[in-house]
Every structure is written in C-alpha cells, then in structure tokens.
Chain A
C-alpha cells in the first residue's frame, strides 16, 4: 500500500476496533484509488456503527426474554449414551437452572479428559481410564467376615478384580496398614486378616474399622466414579462421571490445555473467574444447541458476564445477582421483600431510583429508551 493510502487508513484507526482495523489492513488491495478506499472505509464504519447497541437499549431484558421464551419449549428428556457403559447427564431446563443458579453441588459432575500424544491411542486409553477411575478397597472385596468375639476382621479379596487393576495383595495390605492405626494385619493367599491391637469392650469398633477400610482408595483419582473411553476425532479421550479437575490437570499424561469439567465452581476455583465465565457460556450453549433452540450467543454471554463481574460466581438468585442490586425497591420486588425493606431501614439506605423496576413502581418514566435522554439546558 502506498504512503498516501496508508495515511488515509490511519485516520480510521481510532474509529474502528483494532481487530477490524487489522483485518482491513491485511485484506485491502495494494493498488486502490484513494476515492475507492475512502468509500470502502466509510462503508465499514457505517456497518460497524450500525451493529453497535444504541444507548438506552434494554439489553438485559432483551437477553432475559430471548433466553426465557425458547426456554419454555425445552423438554425434560435426559440424554443417554448409547452402548454398554451408560452415563446419565443432566440436560435441558434442569441443567440451565443449575448453571444460572450457580449451584455448588451439581447433579451430574463430568469431565472430558484429553491425553498427550503417546497416551491417546486406542491401546493405551483403557489403561489411562483405569488409572483415573477411583477404585476403593470395597470394589475388590468379595466378602467381609466380622468376628465380634475376637475383634477380628477377615477380608476376602476377589483376586481377578485385583489383577485387573494391576495391583497385588501385599501392596493393598501394606496400604491398609499405613492408613489405619491400631491394627495387626496378616496377609493370606486371597484374604487379609485384620485384628485390633486394643481389645476394648466397644464392639462397634470392628465395624468402624471395616467401614473405614471399605472406603479406602487404592487407585485412581478421588471423585471419579465412572470412566468411559470414547473416540473423538483421531484420538481417544476419557469421559468421566464425577470430577476432580485439580488432580487430573496435574497428571503428566493429561493434556491440560483441553481437559475440561462441567462444574462451574470447580473451574472457578482451579482456573479462575475468566475460565468460569467461558465455562458458563459453553455449558449453557451446549444445552441450547442440544435442544435445537436458536438463541444468540451474546445473550448468554451477557448473563455469564453478569454472574462473574464481581470476580466471584453469583447465581441469578436472591443470594447472588439480585442481592448486588443497588436499589432497595428493586431487591424487594424480587422475593423476600420484608427482609430487604427492614435491612434497608436499619441502615437508612437511600434509593436513587435510577433503574427500571423502581420507576415502574412509582409511575415515572423508566430511564431506558425514550425515557433516558434528559434536557441539558438549565431552566432558570
């Protein structure tokens, strides 16, 4: 591009967003008359301005309506994985509600785990899956025999299952000994015998020890209840029921750049608020797409932004986003009004009446659309 045109182009640098400006710079033909260039640039500018939201546009309300109306058509069907290892996932309206409420405990926590190249092949993936799945002592036990009189416990082990997990009896027995205090341990051919050191009168103690041993994790990642290796494109990945993002990301075989989970709070804790914001968008959009609804992504983005602006996750509930509203009347108009009015009265809160609901209540024009512009001239 010659210098004269470059000068013309530079004039638009401040008027256009950087991304569009760079794209223009790249794609504009090298040889172009100044007149044509100005015409193109002006046209781009008009289009850019036209796609901007005007001041006073009720974006939040339009988003709410745009998500809410198609939401009424959502079905409550749960989605099933075809095949032997079936996994249930919360989808549809319940899932949307779960995300927007920013629930701490979601119904079906899940992970999609990607692996680095040598580990993402068909022959390795089973091993990786068993490495991740949480196996407890209980999973390999075929029988517990409790001898209350002698305060002894005989654990019969299903050796087939144990070898499947690539563990041996001696290790398991050692592991139990290291985790539980006050016991003698004896390892047999296919059983472990546990005896209490201290033969107290408390009969329940044997049972307590038994329950403790059952819950001991011998292999895998805590919280991963089920694993399902699947093919995704050219590689194999593992889908899991239950999630533990922090531990999984720390594993050296795992591709930490692509591995995700569906628990927004967990993402927020491990990866931070920006990741959580994106996770909300992705998760909500996944549901919307699965239901075959057509909602503009930007509506979801706005909701997600609203939930994350304060640097912490806030649900669209009276404990989350609504509590952050500045207006007393607006808060009182949404659930538990008495609580809000009394709390406000105790500290003498002032309502500036600068939002929508308050003005509808007092019958004044709402400061939006035609109600937004004021008179600048001072009336004397």
Chain B
C-alpha cells in the first residue's frame, strides 16, 4: 500500500505506488491528463506525489522507449516543413516536461549514442544544460563555470542593435552600437535566438601581449586608427520629459518660454534654444544647464495670505534642463497626450560616444577590461603580413582565470576570417580544436596561432612571437562619460550644510570613518581639520549660559536669547553638524552648555 499525495495533500492509497505512477504518466502522454501534471514515486518511503501546482521549474525531454528516442527523422522532416510544431510533439507524447520530483525516477541520456534500454529520456540537445545567454559563449566547455556565468552576464550589458524601430521609440537611457557585426565564431544559439539579426559586438583583431604597461590589471589597448574608422562607436539616447500637470482650482502647467517675472527665472542665455512654443528645435547642440523644455507652474500655495501679497500669483519656473555633465544633440521632439489627457512633451537627446580611455570592453568569456590607452596605428606592433591589432589584451589575465575558451575563440576567429566562413563554437559540440588548428596551418599560418611581430615605434623584430587572431569583442554600457565626477566646491545640503551626495547632485567625495583614521594615525591633525572644514561655522556663544547666541547683522550686535544683550558673547568656530546636534539635544530637553576657554 502506497500513500498518494496530490499537491502535498493526502488523497488516498494505492496497491502499488510504482505501477500507479507509471499509469499516471501513461495517461498524461495519451493526453487524457493535462501535460502539466508530474508524478514522483519515492520507493524509500513508499509515497506517490502528484504535482499540478504552479511555480515548479520544469524542463522538456525527449521520451525514450526501449533505448530508442520517440523523436525520429520523420518528425524532424515534418518539423522542417512546418507540418509539425512544438505543441504537436507534446500532444503526441514525444516530448514531455519534467519537474524536479519526477526527474528522480528517470534516467536521462545526454547524447543519442549513450542510449541503453534502461534510459527513459533523452536530452533535446547537450547545450540545453546552459541558459540562453550562456549558450552564446563559444567553446564554453573549455572555461570554468564561473567565467561562463560572467561572460553571459557581460553580454547582457553589451551595446548592440537592440531593436529595429529605435528611431520611433522614446526609450529611457539606451545605447546603439554603430555597424554591429555578426560574430565569426558562433554557437547554435546565435541563429536560434536571432542574435545574428541583432548582434551586439564587433570582430576585432586581438593580439595577446603587453604594451608599455598600459594594459596591466585587465586593461586593454585600442587602436586609435580603428576608432577613427568607426570601431566600437555608439550613440546614447536619453529623453527629457515634461508634462502639463493639472492642479486644483483649474490651474495648469504651461509649456512656453518663461517670462522674466517668473519666480526662479534662470537667464536669457539658458533659454536661447527654445522656439516660440517653448520647446527646443531638433539638431540643437546642447550642454549642461541648457533648457530643453520651457515650463512654468502655478504658485505653490494659494492661501488667503497671498491675497494681501502685492506680487501675488507669480508663476514658478519648472523647466526641464540638462543635468550636470550631460551634453548632446536634440534628436527628436514629440508632443502628445498621456492617459490623463495632459499635454506631454518629450525631447530625445542623442550623443555620439567614441571609445575613450575608461570605457569597458569584454570578450564573451568573462574577460572584461577597461581601455587603458589609445594608440595610433603607426605606433602599434605589426605582423609580417602587415596586420596591426585593433585591441591588445594582456596575457596575465589568462593563467589564474583559466579561460581556455577565450584562447580557442581567438584561433577560431582567425581561421574563420581567413577561410571566409563561420566557425561553430557551440558548447560540447564545437568544431574540434585540432581541426581548426590544422586548417590554420593549411592557410599558411603557424599551427599554434602565433606570428612574428615588429615593434611599431622602432621597427625592430620582437623576440617573442605574438598570439594573434580575431575575436568578437563587446562594448559594455558602462562608459566613463556617464560616470566621471569631481568636485572642488559645490552645492550643500540645507539641513547639515555638508556637501550633497552623488554625481547627479555634483556631490562631494566622502572622507569616511576609516579614511579619517588614516589622518589621525599620521598625526596630521590640522590637515584633518581642514578636510572636515566643509561645514565650518562661526557661532556666537553666550559665556553666561553656554548656549548659541544670535547675531543681528543689521544692528551688528549679538544678543543671547536667554541672558539678553547684557552678557559676554564670544565667537567660536565649530562644525555646523555639531551645532545641529546641540539643537537636537535641546529638543530632547538636554542642556548642552558650552564652557569657553581661551585656546592660548
């Protein structure tokens, strides 16, 4: 007697659990039970578990009967002709989805050749083991798993031809790679997923060597002349959005060039690009601070107090301007209405991004790096046949990371480029490395992929031969232009009078607790004080009661709120944050009394 559980609830018993499980599976394959039902028989505790709940991870497998897969050549032909589709195969009981439980009762063959009569299922393809992005990595079975994971993660951040109708779209924060290329070394997934229609990289000539030390620590060197020919160029799109909001009392925002009377009016120069409708014209060259959409809003509080105010009902300035560090060309202007019926103005900006020092590049093997130097072609090393690399990759990145796939792709790319064909690098079923190397040899190159190189500056022949070939390199979306930041003086926070935080707010770079400790450890006491002077204030302190006094700038007089004018008041230099702390103490009914003492 075996207990039967349906979705973890006891429903009854059966005579033989094993037979019952087979029965359920047979019924499912015959389509008399839904395809999403899975059964698991556990012989150890003699329990049958039937699952039909949601949220289970399931995967498709080809059913095997007596050592033969049910999917035959006939089916494949029908599939090619389009007479059959995936759903048909499931309905016919040729392919079924298993969950983690039912998988326990199966024996799955990895490849067709491995099939024995004991096998119950066959893997659809060996690369189904990896996910979609990971199966795009060529020669993946040659690299450690951790690197594959990184390689596939990096691919998601690559710039490419993300969508064909990008001109008609108002995407937030997107990049578009100029002249993307289909990889020379491909995998089966390249065509399945449509990657060849939307590629996101370029085939570059890569030399594995060092160059003046500018490619140490994962940096790469890029050929300046290649960049000038358009290598890894991209465009960055960013829209500015303004909505004419409606407020209570029938007041609305208005898109227009703001009047000079408007509260918060910037300056005439800032509005210079705006046309009569208050919107910028296309192809205008704009930089930070320039207004893109002119807009005014009604005054914030329309209370009774304002009635007595002579300057009442002045509108507020609420234009959309370019933020700190932004620049570009206005690409497209769109005027429309949103769901609430408010007028909506969107302006799309475009900025051409030419690769520069600090931009991030990666191969498909988790070998990411940052551009360390851009070198003119005339200074780069060249091979006997006159080839100069587009990119120089440091060999020190290889031994510890063991990304052999990276090295094989380089050779594969070389053969593909020379022979004018694509190389199949699908994980577990790639073209044999040996064959690729032999083909390279037959094309008149060395078997090991190295070539004699000459120093670009001196023309001298290099003592070592250089490993060189073609690789598919990706430009990642992390570009310095979006991240570079520095500050000397700038905006401060209202409450603490300390510098703001973050690049967007032109913030300061924090000197934290541990950094402070290093100053103390060096005994650089006065330098430390200077570093923390950002919120320095001179506060008048009443010597009698020890509280912060008030300085009347008009009368040029100081008085104490507690002791009045008839008291001794001294100026003390403290940090504003400490003054704030004392104020907070006061709000807790704690009396922070300052006892003043002469410093000297």
Question: How many of chain B's residues touch chain A, expressed as a range?
Answer: 20 to 34
- Contact mask B490-527 → A, CB, 8 Å, 1/0? 00000000000000000000000000111011111111
Say which residue of B516, B521, B526, B591 sits within 8 Å of A370 (CB atoms): B526
Say which residue of B517, B523, B585 sits within 8 Å of A57 (CB atoms): B523
The answer to whether the Cβ of A360 comes within 8 Å of any Cβ in the partner chain is yes
Looking at the assembled complex, report how far the CB atom of B210 sits from the nearest CB atom of chain A, in whole angstroms: 29
B600 x A375 contact (CB < 8 A): yes
Bound complex: CA of A64 vs CA of B520, how far in Å?
Answer: 12
Bound complex: CA of A60 vs CA of B429, how far in Å?
Answer: 62
B523 x A345 contact (CB < 8 A): no
Bound complex: CA of A367 vs CA of B529, how far in Å?
Answer: 11
Query: Would you list which residues of chain A between 330 and 380 have a CB under 8 Å from chain B?
Result: 341-342, 345, 350, 356, 360-372, 374-375, 378-379
The answer to whether the Cβ of A46 comes within 8 Å of any Cβ in the partner chain is no
B525 x A363 contact (CB < 8 A): no
Say which residue of B527, B575, B585, B595 sits within 8 Å of A363 (CB atoms): B575
The answer to whether the Cβ of B166 comes within 8 Å of any Cβ in the partner chain is no
Say which residue of B517, B520, B533, B590 sits within 8 Å of A345 (CB atoms): B590
- Contact mask B560-600 → A, CB, 8 Å, 1/0? 00000000000001110110010001001011000100001
Chain B residues closer than 8 Å to A364, beta-carbon distance:
529, 573-574
Chain B residues closer than 8 Å to A365, beta-carbon distance:
525-526, 528-529
Looking at the assembled complex, report how far the CB atom of A66 sits from the nearest CB atom of chain B, in whole angstroms: 9
Chain A residues closer than 8 Å to B523, beta-carbon distance:
56-58, 368-372
What is the size, in residues, of chain A's interface with B at 8 Å between Cβ atoms?
29
Looking at the assembled complex, report how far the CB atom of B88 sits from the nearest CB atom of chain A, in whole angstroms: 55
Interface of A is mostly: loop
Knowing A341-B590, A363-B573 are in contact, say whether A350-B595 is a contact too (CB < 8 A).
Answer: yes
Say which residue of A61, A363, A372 sits within 8 Å of B536 (CB atoms): A363
The answer to whether the Cβ of A62 comes within 8 Å of any Cβ in the partner chain is yes
A363 x B590 contact (CB < 8 A): no
- Contact mask A292-335 → B, CB, 8 Å, 1/0? 00000000000000000000000000000000000000000000
The answer to whether the Cβ of A289 comes within 8 Å of any Cβ in the partner chain is no
B595 x A366 contact (CB < 8 A): no
Interface of B is mostly: helix
Chain A residues closer than 8 Å to B585, beta-carbon distance:
341, 345
Bound complex: CA of A273 vs CA of B287, how far in Å?
Answer: 70
Bound complex: CA of A371 vs CA of B529, how far in Å?
Answer: 10
A362 x B520 contact (CB < 8 A): no
Knowing A345-B591, A362-B578, A379-B600 are in contact, say whether A368-B529 is a contact too (CB < 8 A).
Answer: no
Chain A CB within 10 Å, residue with most, of B525, B581, B595 = B525
A361 x B578 contact (CB < 8 A): yes
The answer to whether the Cβ of A65 comes within 8 Å of any Cβ in the partner chain is yes
A342 x B590 contact (CB < 8 A): yes
Knowing A341-B590, A375-B600 are in contact, say whether A370-B574 is a contact too (CB < 8 A).
Answer: no
The answer to whether the Cβ of B532 comes within 8 Å of any Cβ in the partner chain is yes
Query: Would you list which residues of chain B between 139 and 169 have a CB under 8 Å from chain A?
Result: none
Chain A residues closer than 8 Å to B574, beta-carbon distance:
362-364
Residues of B bordering A, CB below 8 Å = 516-518, 520-529, 532-533, 535-536, 573-575, 577-578, 581, 585, 588, 590-591, 595, 600
Please list 12 pairs of residues, one from A and one from B, whose beta carbons are closer than 8 Å in the complex, sorted by A's number.
Answer: A341-B590, A350-B595, A360-B516, A363-B532, A363-B573, A363-B578, A365-B526, A366-B525, A366-B528, A368-B520, A370-B526, A372-B525
Apart from A65-B521, A363-B535, A365-B528, what are 19 other A-B pairs with CB-CB below 8 Å?
A61-B521, A64-B517, A342-B590, A345-B588, A350-B595, A360-B516, A361-B577, A361-B578, A363-B533, A364-B573, A366-B525, A367-B525, A368-B523, A368-B525, A369-B520, A369-B525, A370-B526, A371-B529, A378-B600
